[in-house]
Structure 1
């Protein structure tokens, strides 16, 4: 980002001031995020119970929609499964709805591999896709054993969340959870295959620099896609045309001018989205198994997208 290359001279630049131009609408959207009714689907009564599958064996009692609603409340409020069961039971009682409530063991079992219904797409057309990743801790790890038995070598107990963001709508397009051993370039092909939108511009940091990643993006998005990936400081020309053009532009005008010309500064939005994820949802996964953790992150990104659709702040520079 630009501040990294001029950190020692930041005192010479006057910090711009912004104000929210749509404060009444944005203020109301913040209130609606605490409204419990928006997290219940409109088809609650008709789709709470699972339909007959027509196959032999026991019939499911609860539909995927019912399980998703319960797990969404759990992720949103950070509660254990037993407290989530009690919350849903009390909400249905207050709404005077005579519906069965899934118990905590059912929520835990059905959470693995749950098919989460995506939000309907608002607009169509080509988009700008910004990709980044972050680490999430696994719950249950404390320092009690270290204090009792001394320092010992721990196994890594964290996961890596890869997300792609559309800066125009502010929504997370796709998300994928992997182990800590999967690098960003290795996860990119699967992340792109999950995207059903036409990508006109791809933006990522220097971790995605390289000919193989460039070929993967071209194969998925087409030859006309604009790829904005900064080369390292010691990069030399001779690899491929797009990278060579970036190197020549940086040498001629400087890295900050290149970032302003190409729009690479938009990558800060995906970093802000990651910070928003850890502020609203948290930086710890509550589930224990990988399949359930994947469902937890998919539901979390859907919650953030629903909050975004309630209203976004529009900033206007005043000085």
Structure 2
């Protein structure tokens, strides 16, 4: 990103200043993020009980919507499972609903492989998607560094999970996500992310980890040749032998960097918008948290999906509008 190339002379560069132009609406959206009526509605409690099965076996007591609602409150307010049960029990009492609240063990058991209720995605109604993809690491619940330092235990390999997110630059919505183990590369997780996008992708932006023929061939197969792929080639990249007669998109990017410089190339191609994905990662760790609460791998997958729904809901409540003042 541009700041990496300005590190040696940052003190000589004036910091850009922006001003929010919709403070009133944005402040109200920030207040609504903590409003219980935003997350708990009468329709959710009316569909609390699960439908009766027509085949043999035990009958579920709570619907998937009920479990999803409880897990959503857990993510929004940063609660443990037992505290989530207490909060939902008090909400039901205050609203006058005579319903049973799932206990903490039921929430843990049902979250494994939970099918989340479908939501209407704005990406399918706002035209082609301008997709920017990135990944970050999330800590896993465990003993941590304190136990190693306190009791001088043998240092264990740090465990973490990798969160992959795809952001639509047009709507600001997270349109695809995946949680994988730490040894899964970004290009390997990309097909699963693209499967979650129902509409066409007009522009694809990613960092250098996605640079390679498999990624470009995958995008061309899924979305055709109309998709604009913006992936920064590494410093050691060289043009292909056919670059003189039939240059590829990557060849043109290499030539543009050599002619204009990397910073000018980023601005002309829109690669600087990749910082939106990094901002989204920071937003995730600030709002949802940098650590996964669930332990077993299937449960953190559901936790990540619920986190995506929470951030998208907060985005729908209102976004700030900026204008540069200096």
Scaled by the length of structure 2, the TM-score of the pair is: 0.94
Partner of 1:300: 307
Query: Is the contact between residue 118 and residue 302 of structure 1 (CA under 8 Å) also seen in structure 2?
Result: no
Query: Is the contact between residue 139 and residue 161 of structure 2 (CA under 8 Å) also seen in structure 1?
Result: yes
Alpha-carbon distance in structure 2 between the residues aligned to 1:310 and 1:42: 19
Give 1:221's match in structure 2, choosing from 196, 220, 223.
Answer: 223
Alpha-carbon distance in structure 2 between the residues aligned to 1:41 and 1:174: 26
Alpha-carbon distance in structure 1 between the residues aligned to 2:190 and 2:100: 41
Partner of 1:288: 295
Give SS of 1:282's match: coil
Structure 1 residue 42, shift from structure 2 partner: 4.3
Q: How does 1:1-319 map to 2 (within 5 A)?
A: 1-122=1-122, 123-147=125-149, 149-238=151-240, 241-319=248-326
Structure 1 residue 41, shift from structure 2 partner: 3.9
Give SS of 1:214's match: helix
Give SS of 1:165's match: strand
> Segments of 4+ in structure 1 off by > 4 A?
none
Alpha-carbon distance in structure 1 between the residues aligned to 2:281 and 2:118: 20
Alpha-carbon distance in structure 1 between the residues aligned to 2:187 and 2:176: 16
When the two structures are aligned, how many residues end up with a matched partner?
319
Structure 1 residue 272, shift from structure 2 partner: 0.4
Alpha-carbon distance in structure 1 between the residues aligned to 2:16 and 2:155: 47
Query: Is the contact between residue 138 and residue 288 of structure 1 (CA under 8 Å) also seen in structure 2?
Result: yes
Give SS of 1:143's match: helix
Structure 1 residue 12, shift from structure 2 partner: 3.2
Give SS of 1:212's match: helix
Cα distance per residue 1:27-47 (max 9 Å; x no partner): 000010110111114422331
Structure 1 residue 16, shift from structure 2 partner: 2.1
Give SS of 1:301's match: helix
Query: Is the contact between residue 134 and residue 164 of structure 2 (CA under 8 Å) also seen in structure 1?
Result: yes
Structure 1 residue 212, shift from structure 2 partner: 1.2
Alpha-carbon distance in structure 1 between the residues aligned to 2:19 and 2:149: 49
Structure 1 residue 308, shift from structure 2 partner: 0.4
Structure 1 residue 144, shift from structure 2 partner: 4.9
* Mean Cα deviation higher: 151-160 or 181-190: 151-160
Alpha-carbon distance in structure 2 between the residues aligned to 1:71 and 1:293: 11
> 5+ residue gaps in structure 1?
none
Give SS of 2:67's match: helix
Structure 1 residue 224, shift from structure 2 partner: 1.2
